[in-house]
Structure formats: structure tokens, C-alpha cells
Amino acid sequence: MTTTATTVQQATPASPGAGGVGLRLRGLRRSFGATTALDGLDLDIAPGELVALLGPSGCGKTTALRIIAGFETADTGELLIGDEDVTAVPANRRDIGMVFQSYSLFPTMTAAENVAYGLRVRKVSKAERAARAEELLELVGLPGREKHYPHQLSGGQQQRVALARALAIRPRMLLLDEPLSALDAKVRLQLREEIRRLQLELGITTVFVTHDQEEALSMADRVAVMKDGRLEQCAAPNELYERPTTPFVAEFVGTMNRLPGVVRDGGTVEVLGRRLPVHGECPGTGRTVEVLLRPEGLKVRTGTDADGEAATVRVATFLGSTTRLLLTTDSGAEAKADLPSWEADALTPGARCTLTPHEKPVLVEEAA
């Protein structure tokens, strides 16, 4: 249901080096008994960049983040913050701010005391702590809540305080593990924009774990898609969406059709009566494959003609500016197609039409 339409293009992308350091993960491996949580994870993050770690449940996102934070150790592999190998540095000396998925404020302390906690540990004077706590609570949009205890704050407010607390120590890097997943949709949307605004303002290197692709695509400079403890692809949101390098990424990000096709000479594939160049892995000539096409990558014309493949509209869902059609081709394949609503007037359920793909390189996968 997500499209790149929600991506907020920043006029000034993260100003590199503004206040952050780079991060390099090299071949991180971690097993828990028989389960392999990380299976050789490699990832480079530039200073001041926000990278979203995206992937299905259990793919090792949290494990990766906890290794970066120092709460977990990798069995093998290397972890560099800037140029320093921090593998042996304990969590309390890594200077990394972290916001947790569950509410993690200290229940016995007020909001201000929570924010000032890291400074108290660093023996900063009381007056300075109070001033900084006030400043940070204001920064996260909670002025005047200094004296509130966590149980007197809403979930969204608690996560804001947690963010302020993590930023108070002026960390080298910020780690967020699904900080918004416990919040309702509206607060989530609002808070993610604020996190991004703050991150850009401070230029702090940030790793943001999520399994919500919309969140990842709309916030991140780059999105790292993980699968089974390994990195599948790490790219800018629009590139990830438009040019996924593997079928897994293609299907995980956005919606994908799988339509039958046959491989032809010269690295092309025949699908819906057209020949398209294959991008990525291509099986031998003559093989039957499944071709991956986005719903907006299909053209739908009213009526049938020789060009393309004839199909029947099953369901038409009005989504505002676009309409999504569920179609069945005459050869029996199912396809989803998105087209501008003003073009979809005649395409009511039962209507006959013709499907053709846009002329773009496509990913294929050998039919199971």
C-alpha cells in the first residue's frame, strides 16, 4: 500500500560530518544456540546519515542494534565507530544514545531527572543539568513537563522524553529500536517527522530499526533491507523502490505483481506481449519465469486489441487520486494495477481491457 509518494525529499540531505561519526559493520555474526541471528552483516554508515534497518520479524535488526550499542557481543566480525574499533568497549563508554521500543524511562524519576540522568552520571553540575534538561524537553516539544513522572505522560510523550534523554549526553550516534511501534498511527506520523527534523538539525548519525516500510522510506537517507541476518540491499528510498536488486527487496518494499513470462535471447523476457530487458539475474533462454512488475508499472487500456494481453477487471478500489484494479488476464494470471482515477472511470468490475507493461528493465525469478 506504500509508495514513494510519501518520501519527503529533503532540500539539504544530511549534511555529512555535521556532528556525527561514521559506523562500519564488518561481517558481524551472532548465533543464539541453534538460531543464527546475524550471518555476516556488512554495513557502512556515513557521518550524519540516517539509515533505517528494515526487514521481517526475526531477521536480526534488534540484534545488530544491540551489538552496536554494546549490550550484545558478536561472535565474529568487526565494529568501527569512526576509526575506532569498539568491539571491546563496554556499553557505558560508547557514547551512544539509544531509544528503546518499550517505554524505558526510569519510573522513579521525573522527566527532567530522566533527561539529566546521563549528565548526572558525568558529574555535570546541578544547575547546568537543569538548564540542559529544560532545553532538551523544549526541543522535543514538551516544555513545562519537567516535573511530570513517566506514569503521568502519554506513550508518545514518554518516547519524546526518552529521545531527549538520549540526546542530552550529546552522543556520537543515535540508535532507535522501533521507537514508534507502541504508539497510535497519528502520533507515530507526527513523531517520525520530528525525529527526522531533529536528526537533520543536529546532524547526528542515526540507525533506526523498523519493520514498517513506510516509516523507513519516508525518514531515511538510506534504507538497509535485511533478510535472515544478512544485508540484502542498502540504498536511497527511491532507488530501493525503483531498482531493487533482488526479488526479496522488490517484494518487501511496496507491492509487486508476479506475472508469467518466458526468457528470450539477449537478456530479455517476454511478458504481457512485450519484450523487456532483464535486470539482475537471468535464467537461460526459453525458461519460464515469474516477472516482477509494480502496479503502477502496468498500463491498462479499455477494450481489447492485439497489443498486450486481454484481461477482465475483478475489483476496482478508489484510493483518491489513484484507483487500484484487481485484474485477471485471459491466461489466468492475477495482477494489480494502479492508474490515475480519472482514467479508471470506464474500468468497472467485469469490464474488458488490455494490459501492457512500461518499457523498463524488470527483475525475474525462475518459476517454482
Ligand X SMILES: Nc1ncnc2c1ncn2[C@@H]1O[C@H](COP(=O)(O)OP(=O)(O)OP(=O)(O)O)[C@@H](O)[C@H]1O
Which positions lie near other proteins, rule CB under 8 A? 69-71, 90-98, 100, 102-108, 117-118, 120-122, 149, 151, 162, 165-166, 169
Residue 102, interface with ligand X (CB under 6 A)? no
Instruction: Give which of Mg ion, other proteins, ligand X, none residue 58 binds (C-beta under 5 to 8 Å, depending on kind).
Output: ligand X
CB of 323 to Mg ion, least distance (A): 36
C-alpha cell at 68: 552496536
Rounded distance, CA 106 to CA 149, Å? 9
Instruction: Give which of other proteins, Mg ion, ligand X, none residue 106 binds (C-beta under 5 to 8 Å, depending on kind).
Output: other proteins
Question: Which range in 29-37, 136-144, 195-203, 271-279 contacts ligand X by CB under 6 A?
Answer: 29-37
What lies within 8 Å, CB to CB, of 5 at 6+ separation is none
CB of 361 to ligand X, least distance (A): 31
Contacts of residues 266-269 at CB distance under 8 Å and 24 or more positions apart, as own/partner, are 269/362, 269/364
Angle at CA of residue 266, ends 261 and 267, nearest 5°:
50
How much is the CA Rg of the chain, to the nearest whole Å? 24
Contacting residue, 62, 199, 323, 329, with Mg ion by CB under 5 A: 62
Residue 231, interface with ligand X (CB under 6 A)? no
C-alpha cell at 214: 513506510
Using CA atoms, how far residue 267 sits from 49, 154, 264, 279, 284, in Å, is 37, 56, 7, 8, 9
Residue 25, interface with ligand X (CB under 6 A)? no
CB of 166 to Mg ion, least distance (A): 18
With H, G, I as helix, E, B as strand and everything else as coil, classify residue 160. helix
Question: Which range in 53-61, 73-81, 232-240, 312-320 contacts ligand X by CB under 6 A?
Answer: 53-61
Nearer CB in complex with ligand X: 228/343: 228
Nearer CB in complex with ligand X: 207/269: 207
Nearer CB in complex with Mg ion: 62/268: 62
Residue 37, interface with ligand X (CB under 6 A)? yes
Using CA atoms, how far residue 317 sits from 259, 294, 332, in Å, is 21, 17, 21
Backbone angles phi, psi at 95, to 5 degrees: 60, 50
Instruction: Give which of Mg ion, ligand X, other proteins, none residue 126 binds (C-beta under 5 to 8 Å, depending on kind).
Output: none
Q: How many CB atoms lie under 10 A from the CB of residue 51?
A: 22
CB of 180 to Mg ion, least distance (A): 13
Nearer CB in complex with ligand X: 53/311: 53
Provide the β-strand partners of residue 235: 223
Question: Which range in 58-66, 255-263, 309-317, 318-326 contacts Mg ion by CB under 5 A?
Answer: 58-66
Contacting residue, 24, 26, 29, 211, with ligand X by CB under 6 A: 211
CB of 224 to ligand X, least distance (A): 12
Nearer CB in complex with ligand X: 44/212: 212
> Which is nearest to 361 in space by CA: 253, 263, 242, 260?
242
Residue 35, interface with ligand X (CB under 6 A)? yes
Nearer CB in complex with other proteins: 183/362: 183
What is the size of the binding site for Mg ion (CB under 5 A)?
1
Beta strands in the chain (DSSP E): 23-32, 35-45, 50-54, 76-81, 84-85, 96-99, 173-177, 205-210, 222-227, 230-235, 257-264, 268-271, 274-277, 288-293, 298-302, 309-318, 322-329, 334-340, 352-357, 363-366
Provide the β-strand partners of residue 23: 45, 81
CB of 61 to Mg ion, least distance (A): 5
Applying CB under 5 A, the residues found at the interface with Mg ion are: 62
Applying CB under 6 A, the residues found at the interface with ligand X are: 32, 35, 37, 55, 57-63, 211
